[in-house]
Structure 1
Amino acid sequence: MGKNYVESAKLVDKNALYTPEEAMDLVVKTSKAKFNETVEAAIRLGVDPRHADQQVRGAIVLPHGTGKEVKVLVFAKGDKAKEAQDAGADYVGAEEYATKIQNENWFDFDVVVATPDMMGVVGRLGRVLGPKGLMPNPKSGTVTFDIAKALSEIKAGKVEYRVDKTAIIHVLIGKSSFGTQKLAENFHVLMEAIVKAKPASAKGQYIKSVAVSSTMGPGIKVNPVKVLD
């Protein structure tokens, strides 16, 4: 453990459950690295991800963005390719990018968007894009003919959330430089979306535990009861 981490850890009571605002305040105070640290939330849910009817996933636009510059690859042809270029896509193409990913292990992008007619090409990349969480999906708005809207939302701070095999959702909610209020507002919007996405088949306590942390900082527990207050 580095000196900064040890000093930061002293500010956090490991047994305490903080309100979202208290937690974000501590995140900012414990972010002592020389770079602008990323802040992430980890939400453990009372679902069984092995069952298809208990999957929790979706996408939202955070009110203050993520603070991260996002590179977008768009699979499109013709007019939709031009629309993507005009809307600010970083890479636009078709089969050539699929080949580049498969043969060169190229992943210089953060999000993949595709028009529905290109999913035949993109579908072949499922084995490499899927494990990285990069596979386009209609539910998250990344398979669409409205390329301009999709790009606008992504560049504005759209984030995807998806429960993993251990029933935890990990989501980027901003940077330490955002300060307490902006981080708290991003966090509340995220939690509202996750609560609304509760599967009908999920029984018992839905939000089991919540924690936030910065890149180099300690984990800070948030009171599950207070997340939507």
Structure 2
Amino acid sequence: MKYGKKYAESLKAYDRSKLYDVDEAMGLVVDTAKAKFDETVELHVRLGVDPRQADQQVRGVLVLPNGTGKSKKVLVIAKGERADAAAAAGADYVGAEEMVAKIQSENWFDFDVVITTPDMMGVVGRIGKVLGPKGLMPNPKSGTVTMDVAKAISEVKAGKVEYRLDKTAIIHCPIGKKSFGKEKLSENFNALMDAVVKAKPAAAKGQYIKSVTVTSTMGPGIKVNYAKL
């Protein structure tokens, strides 16, 4: 495989077969992120569970200690007092049926998160088929179907992330930006890994954490010593 010059340089900076401690891995991911933009740092965790089994799902949300470094646009679908509360809490867009109609007729997706109240789920359900594949469908488990819309907005703006298992039993989740530096990235990494470990399903058998890798948008994957986590 032929690599770009910067990527090839990054590969020389570390040992691809070695498992690095968290702080060292974060230092390397910062050093090997050589793009001209502020690269996102992602955590990839392979778990020893069967994602096809309902009792072996791993999913949750948490607010990262240092946020994600990305400002998220929030759409709130609500009425009355809840709509007023959403606007006051800093939602980027607030509305009810007219927002659903806009998404349906204009294919409008200028937002990153959808928050709604339980009484509006019937309305939101009309666009479930377009929101679902994009990972935008509100869900009580992720805190995006709630009466406390103000709290939900503040958590999203503060850097709330959702982690969930994909079909190959891997969790992919952002933990910040290169500009955070290794200390802040390490704090976010540890918070997310703690959450994943605590979310271990009772039905999971054998080794739970199979591998842990961190990578920047354009950089190589760096393996983390998960035995110490």
Number of aligned residues = 227
Greater shift, 202-211 or 126-135, is seen at 126-135
Give the distance between the partners of 1:205 and 1:108, measured in 2 at CA: 41
Q: How far has the Cα of 1:184 moved from its partner?
A: 0.4
State the partner residue of 1:161. 163
Give the distance between the partners of 1:195 and 1:125, measured in 2 at CA: 34
Which residues in structure 2 correspond to 1:184-195 (within 5 Å)?
184-195=186-197
Q: How far has the Cα of 1:105 moved from its partner?
A: 1.8
State the partner residue of 1:136. 138
Which residues in structure 2 correspond to 1:1-229 (within 5 Å)?
1-226=3-228, 228=229
Q: How far has the Cα of 1:52 moved from its partner?
A: 1.1
Give 3-state SS (helix, strand or coil) of 1:159's partner. strand
Q: How far has the Cα of 1:51 moved from its partner?
A: 1.1
Give 3-state SS (helix, strand or coil) of 1:92's partner. strand
Give the distance between the partners of 1:202 and 1:144, measured in 2 at CA: 30
Give the distance between the partners of 2:189 and 2:210, measured in 1 at CA: 16
TM-score (norm 1): 0.97
Paired letter, 2:141: K
Q: How far has the Cα of 1:103 moved from its partner?
A: 2.5
Greater shift, 129-138 or 110-119, is seen at 129-138
Give the distance between the partners of 2:77 and 2:205, measured in 1 at CA: 39
Give the distance between the partners of 2:94 and 2:206, measured in 1 at CA: 45
In structure 1, list runs of 5 or more residues that go unmatched.
Answer: none
CA RMSD of aligned residues (A): 0.9
Give 3-state SS (helix, strand or coil) of 1:25's partner. helix
Give the distance between the partners of 1:126 and 1:140, measured in 2 at CA: 16
In structure 2, list runs of 5 or more residues that go unmatched.
Answer: none
Paired letter, 1:12: Y
Following TM superposition, the consecutive aligned residue runs of length 4 or more in structure 1 with deviations greater than 6 angstroms are none
Question: Alpha-carbon deviations, 1:18-52, whole Å to 9, x = none?
Answer: 11111100000001111111000111111111111
Question: Alpha-carbon deviations, 1:121-168, whole Å to 9, x = none?
Answer: 112222211122111111111110001111111100000111011111
Give 3-state SS (helix, strand or coil) of 1:203's partner. coil
Give the distance between the partners of 1:144 and 1:36, measured in 2 at CA: 33
Give the distance between the partners of 1:175 and 1:138, measured in 2 at CA: 28
Give the distance between the partners of 1:43 and 1:131, measured in 2 at CA: 22
Give the distance between the partners of 1:95 and 1:110, measured in 2 at CA: 19
Give the distance between the partners of 1:104 and 1:49, measured in 2 at CA: 35
